[in-house]
A and B are shown apart, each in its own frame.
Chain A
Amino acid sequence: MASAKETYRTELRAAARQLGERCLYSAAKWAAELLVGVDLDTSPAPSSAMDSPSSSSAVSAGRLLHLHRSGGSSFRHRFRPGGASSSEAGTPLGGVSYVSTPIPDDDSFDSGGDKYLLAKTYFDCREYRRAAHVLQNQVGRKAVFLRCYALYMAGEKRKEAEMIEMEGSLGKSNAVNQELVALERELSTHRRTGSIDSFGLYLYGLVLRDKGCEDLARTILVESVNSYPWNWSAWSELQSLCTSSDVLNNLNLKNHWMKDFFLASTYLELKMHEEALKRYERLMGIFRSSGYIQAQIATVQYSMRDLDEAEMIFEELLRTDPFRVDSMDIYSNLLYAKESLTALSFLAHRVFLTDKYRPESCCIIANYYSLKGQHEKSVLYFQRALKLNRKYLSAWTLMGHEYVELKNTPAAIDAYRRAVDINPKDYRAWYGLGQIYEMMGMPFYALYYFRKSSYLQPNDARLWIAMAQCYESDPLQMIEEAIKCYERAANSNDTEGIALHQLAKLHDVLGQSEEAAYYYKKDLERMEAEERQGQNFVEALLFLAKHYKNIGNFEEAGHYCTRLLDYTGPEKETAKNMLQGIKRLQSGFPSMDIDHFAL
């Protein structure tokens, strides 16, 4: 065990250094963080200067899933590759043995070592073009990579600037990274001649993705992670290209332990929560104090609506890592859902002081204002978050909610629609769109959106109920369709129990009292199990009593009537009358027969 952990540590240590040398900061950050996260009890961490507990923020720039009180979503930083971690063999987490990947030994500086040093300092100061210029005519792999990477970054920087400069009356024109073409040409030549290392492959993958060649990009990234698995940025790019589980299953990945991180986070993204949780918990066994894994577990639990558990983890995380901003927007969503105003304000204050120009920070503050009921301000902060990251999906969805509160329907629709166009699988935004249209009195039109959302999330009872309510609404009156939807809802664990009750009612309306009785009974059982009582309970009892009386099952009818007697209100009187009627009938039947014969 200890030795396995020691290998992890060695690998991660080397990776953090190698990645850092190549200016792949966030990947290096990720690796270093994980390095410190490895169970501490065995060796009291000697080693390099690298593992001083990295403070400010955890987790790489990968893609995190931000499931929100209503918006499941993902966002990603536009660029910046991330770190990696390393280790070989070790405890097979799932009983499978891992492939060991040798740590490439590339610390030998090529001839232009000094120039590389200069270029790296330029790069660190964000003088990308200068860095690239210094490395001109250098042929070492490392130098080539850094030059290309610097060029790429320079292009990205220019692109961002241009995006703002070129904003016209018809919206932004699509600025492109001007370096892409040249980079692609150079990198593909290198790849053909075999003079490319895994970092170069990673960059090549980035370039291809930006150019829209997703399939090739996937292949290249797989090559990259197979040869150097500790580059988390490469994994997360790969993850962003895995849009369905089919694609995921078709990847030809070596069974390195880093793959578990990748799989877990991809499962989370693909909403396969159970699988994700399983993997994270296994990983947690080794990297016991990794903030990243904790945050991911909390996210999964939040997505599975296990709020209390998730809150505990987040609190713990904040205690050990008080200046963390990553994933904190999910924590704020959670607090919003739990309506803990104080905790939310505390969190907002803290992230504001840490770094107010992070999209997450803005989102947290917006959540706070929203909970306070100050929706204008909330919208303002969401807009700021979106300025910082236009593809911040959950912010679009949440802003849609705020506009709904402000009764600004067109703006709300617009916001939701943007969320949907960023990620067409965001069922919550579809649902939001449906809700707005329903509110505007357009149930038929809303159906399209509900259909979309329930197609994406077929096991969510709320979506089916929303659809059913549309069908059931006054103008449409399509009872049969409504019943079908309610049936789906009842089959997919409808916690609020709306579906059963409505099913019973609708069947009653259609005059199908057998079915109605069936559902009322089921509803009763459910309410009894949850020890819930109320108007619905009384209604169910009353119907059942009447129904059994009508079909002549006086015993059952009597049973329900007596239960009704426990409640006050007009139903009690009805029940009394019915009981009397039943008694009369039970005793009266024979006499009636006699009368009949007498006639």
Chain B
Amino acid sequence: MSLFAGVGGGAAAGDPASAGGTGRALLELTPHKLAVCHLVQVFAPPAQAGGDVVPPFPFESVAHHNRLGLFLFTLTRSCDDFREPSLEELLRQLKAVDDLTNGWLCEQLTSTLSVLISPDDLFNFFDKLRGVLTAPEGAGAEDILLDPNSQLGVFLRCCILAFNSMTFEGICHLLADLVMYCNSTDASYDLAEDEDFDTEMSNLMDADISSQADIYQKYRQGRESESHMGESSSALTRAPMILHDFDEANTFKVDEDNPTSLRSRWQLEAYLNQQADLLEKDPSSVPLNSFNATMTQLQTLAPELHRVQFLQYLNALCHDDYVASLDNLHRYFDYSSGMQGLFGRSVSAVQDVIVGKYEGALLCLGNLHCHFGHPKKALEAFSEAVRVSQMNNDDSCLAYVLGAISNLLAKIGMSNTVGIVSSPYSLGTNIGLGTPLSIQQQLLVLLKRSLKRADLLKLPSLLAFDHLSLAKFDLKNVQRPLVSFGPNASTKLRTCPADVCKNLRLSSRVLTDFGTDALSTSSENGSFSTSWLRNLATASDSRRSSSMKSTKLHNDFDNFHYLAQPSPVPSPVLQLAGSSYLLRATAWEHYGSAPMVRMNALVYATCFADAASSSELSLAYVKLIQQLAVFKGYSAAFCALKLAERKFPSSTSSHIQLLRMQILHERALHRGHLKVAQQICDEFGVLSSSVCGVDIELKTEASIRRARTLLAAKQFSQAAAVANSLFSTCYKYNMQVENASVLLLLAEIHKKSDNAVLGLPYALASQSFCKSFNLDLLGASATLTLAELWLALGSSHAKRALSLVYQSLPMILGHGGLELRARAHIVLAKCHLSDPKFSVAEDPEAVLDPLNQATEDLRVLEHHEMAAEAYYLKAIAYNHLGKLDEREEAAACFMEHITALENPRKEEDSLAY
């Protein structure tokens, strides 16, 4: 019965201003529905008294019979479009089911429909239909094939009811539509299709030879076949449009087709939900204007279906059209008064999915401003949303708003809250503490409140979201008690990885929770049926499969399972569960465990790609490629990057774009191509918004890179100035984790400028930051820097330096990248060499082994400066050993690297990959 729950609910929640729902049928009868009714009748013929044969007449086997049943079931539930398929399309699909009876079903269908020419024929048609559901007198109940309470039974009953309540005018319209429906298809449809299939096949055959003329030719053929088929089939030549070919086909057809054949309300809403998911997943795949056109078309057909406006809002939002999104947002909420639900997975009264009324509008408005980078306006909207939802006792909306605020606070840098949350209703102060709270503390309080509410109200997805945000918070912030009374209050100033882990695990619980909870009802969005139909098409004609694969973001997993069905878990749940893996990868990145980063990113990319938005998925790829660059060198990374760029065009994915610049910059620095490095730095600086407090992370990274470039160019004082100002910015915005690396950078700068004494405190400070935030790998590299600094103070400190290096070695060798490992090896060798008590002759391996290892690693990285150092040390070691040939060889290598570093050639190469 759940099939029509949405339909009934939708009719009830109609427009308040209209005169009321008198005389509204459950669904509107259309020719397509008549066709389906007829097929149902074939599927379950009216019971005849006497012995029935199972399966009934045209079917050869029970399996065949079931196949038709499944087909009919999906027809009533699929949602790949808002208008019903034409007869032609239906026949095409039916043919896949109908192979065994040699087109009998199709013929029968067309002939039955075409003889319905007078109102009386329709009456008789429905009379016969009634026989499907009722047993003739004298027959037992088991003679009926169709259970009146099954999906198909309910569908049939709805159709009969709709017909019975139809006015004569309605019947006239139906007849007129029916004539058009039957005429839209060619009488010789099957012939045409076969021909078409052949040309299509030949197209596929010569697809490899892609000369310009060829493409043109194919395009022309495609056009021709299109005119036969109606459906777009020139898939190859218009690959980027594949996802939307149905849209285009619609706009083509709209004029001649009967404009009233909308699908049932349930299917429409499922369609809209699907489109919304698509928008969220990969906005770049949805062209702004054509989508808008589709939506406008739908709106003219169904003016009271206000969700369309919400979709238009989403579309404008995804394409960064501020004015249009604002307009559509207000329009949607004005019309629907928020009653059609915000997340609208269904219209049933499920707590999770219905978020209030106008407070929902404010929530959306806040998110809109947040998206466009207006933190102040967003906060105003959110605090109003808090107020209104408190006023209206809308707890679930409140919980969502709190979640949204914490998201905003976490995303946007704000040095203090004064002037932002200053109203008497301000969010942080009403917890009853006199002292003003820092933004971080407010964030924590809000998150906890939201979490508590979500738990109480049983909102599993929000719960998961809050756990994720808490994990994010714990990752970067030390949790201090809000009030500490007296000296006894213990303050352990460290982040707590266990908390992060706990929250991440808790957030994954959404995967198990949804089944038992509210989300399960909302999961029925018909996508299963849609993809069944699609697969049916795929199976029947292989031409689609080749085109589908290339453009859609699939789980790679699906490639191994031909015709894999989609996961039964609804995609929002999958998405949340997936983000926890992504966050895990990030957490391990912080804590410094390379294998764990790789593993989690891989899990994400393979298992959650179906549900992931393109930006998140690209993030996972970015992480993997970064790992490659660090551990396997640049050529491997660039290979992977090329693949990734093919998947996410860099114009649309900022993550990939950033990654490209990061790797290019690293390589330029290593090769000593400073001009290129500087150029990339400048590009970095342009990427971030100029508004204060927005794009903080990007700005931080740009400054770090600038300082490093300056350092490489030996402009120490300038580099130090950049780093210092960066430090104060980070401090202002409470970005402690970033501070650790900035401090390390400062130590590095002082070390390079031969001010080891000055560098020491920075290195120590960085080390202690790393300790309190559990940044183990960064800590190890800080320790290494510390060792270098000690070493620079003179050979008397070699012992101490050596012990420091030994301290850091396990971490570095276990998890460090090529560069870090090489550095550790070099420092190790240096310690030994500068230790007066150490003699090379006694233990040559202690020096040569690490150096060999280091040169090996650095060769992959193309890091000239360090490679030169390594070879230099090697030469010295060989000199000590008296191996002159090897010494000369090492010296030659040293020379080679030094010249490469000092006279960079082919700088422009550094921009290519």
Contacts and interface: CB of A to CB of B under 8 A. Distances in A.
Interface of A: 161-162, 165-166, 168-174, 383, 399, 408-411, 413-418, 421, 433, 437, 440-445, 448-449, 474-477
B94 to A, nearest CB: 27
Contact of B362 (A161, A170, A445, A474): A445
Contacts of A418: 17
B357 to A, nearest CB: 8
Contact of A477 (B27, B388, B422): B422
A170 B266 CA distance: 11
Contact of A417 (B14, B331, B387): B331
A377 B13 CA distance: 24
B388 A440 contact: yes
B334 A433 contact: yes
A414 B337 contact: yes
Contact of B326 (A383, A399, A421, A448): A448
Nearest to A416: B334
B383 interface: yes
B301 A410 contact: no
Interface in B212-269: 259-260, 262, 265, 268
A444 B16 contact: no
A500 B678 CA distance: 57
7 closest residue pairs by CB, A with B: A171-B304, A170-B302, A410-B337, A171-B303, A417-B334, A165-B169, A414-B17
Contacts of B383: 475
Contacts of B425: 475
B381 A444 contact: yes
Nearest to A165: B169
B326 A165 contact: no
A449 B331 CA distance: 11
B358 A437 contact: yes
A116 B358 CA distance: 61
Interface string B293-305: 0000000111111
By CB atoms of chain B within 10 A, which of A161, A166, A399, A445 has the most?
A: A445
A168 B24 CA distance: 7
Interface of B: 10-11, 14-17, 19, 21, 24-25, 27-28, 167, 169-170, 173, 259-260, 262, 265, 268, 300-305, 326, 330-331, 334-335, 337, 339, 357-358, 361-362, 365, 380-381, 383-384, 387-388, 391, 422-425
B259 A173 contact: yes
Contacts of B424: 474
Given A174-B300, A474-B424, A408 B28 contact: no
A172 B423 CA distance: 46
B374 to A, nearest CB: 12
Nearest to B326: A448
6 contacts: A165-B167, A169-B265, A170-B262, A170-B303, A173-B259, A477-B422
A445 B423 contact: no
B384 A408 contact: no
Nearest to A418: B17
Contacts, number: 107
Nearest to A399: B17
B112 to A, nearest CB: 25
Contacts of B361: 445
A171 B380 contact: no
By CB atoms of chain A within 10 A, which of B25, B302, B303, B384 has the most?
A: B384
Given A171-B305, A445-B358, A476 B380 contact: yes
B17 A415 contact: yes
Given A170-B262, A414-B337, A448-B326, A475 B384 contact: yes
B204 to A, nearest CB: 40
A414 B422 CA distance: 34
Nearest to A446: B384
A448 B259 CA distance: 36
Contacts of A444: 362, 365, 380-381, 384
By CB atoms of chain A within 10 A, which of B14, B16, B424 has the most?
A: B16
Given A166-B260, A445-B365, A171 B302 contact: yes
A169 B15 contact: no
A171 B10 CA distance: 12
Given A170-B262, A411-B17, A448 B330 contact: yes
A171 B302 CA distance: 6
A421 B17 CA distance: 15
Contact of A413 (B27, B302, B337): B337
A433 B334 CA distance: 9
Contacts of B384: 442-445, 475
B24 A169 contact: yes
A434 B828 CA distance: 72
Nearest to B298: A170
A411 B330 CA distance: 15
A433 B169 CA distance: 39
A408 B425 CA distance: 27
A166 B339 contact: no
Contacts of A170: 262, 265, 268, 301-305
A174 B296 CA distance: 12
Given A170-B262, A475-B423, A476-B380, A408 B304 contact: no
B334 A169 contact: no
Contacts of B326: 448
Contact of A173 (B15, B167, B260): B260
Given A170-B304, A171-B302, A165 B362 contact: no
A411 B259 CA distance: 29
Nearest to B28: A168
B381 A445 contact: yes
Nearest to A408: B16
Contacts of B11: 169
Contacts of A409: 337
Nearest to A413: B334
A410 B13 CA distance: 12
Contacts of B25: 169
B697 to A, nearest CB: 29
A383 B16 CA distance: 12
Contacts of B262: 168, 170
Contacts of A162: 173
Contact of A165 (B14, B27, B170, B303): B170
Nearest to B357: A410
By CB atoms of chain A within 10 A, which of B24, B334, B424 has the most?
A: B334
Contacts of B381: 444-445
Nearest to B391: A441
By CB atoms of chain A within 10 A, which of B173, B330, B381 has the most?
A: B330
By CB atoms of chain B within 10 A, which of A383, A413, A444 has the most?
A: A444
B16 A410 contact: yes
Contacts of B423: 474-477
Contacts of A416: 334
Given A417-B334, A441-B387, A477-B422, 14 more contacts: A165-B169, A169-B11, A170-B304, A170-B305, A173-B259, A173-B300, A383-B19, A408-B16, A409-B337, A414-B15, A416-B334, A441-B391, A445-B358, A449-B330
B254 to A, nearest CB: 11
Contacts of A442: 358, 362, 384, 388
Contact of A414 (B335, B362, B391): B335
B330 A172 contact: no
A524 to B, nearest CB: 33
A171 B308 CA distance: 13
By CB atoms of chain B within 10 A, which of A166, A170, A445 has the most?
A: A170
A169 B16 contact: no
Nearest to A415: B17
Contact of A172 (B303, B362, B387): B303
A308 to B, nearest CB: 35
B161 to A, nearest CB: 13
A476 B420 CA distance: 11
Contacts of B357: 410
A225 to B, nearest CB: 31
By CB atoms of chain A within 10 A, which of B14, B331, B380 has the most?
A: B380
Contacts of B339: 410
A181 B882 CA distance: 100
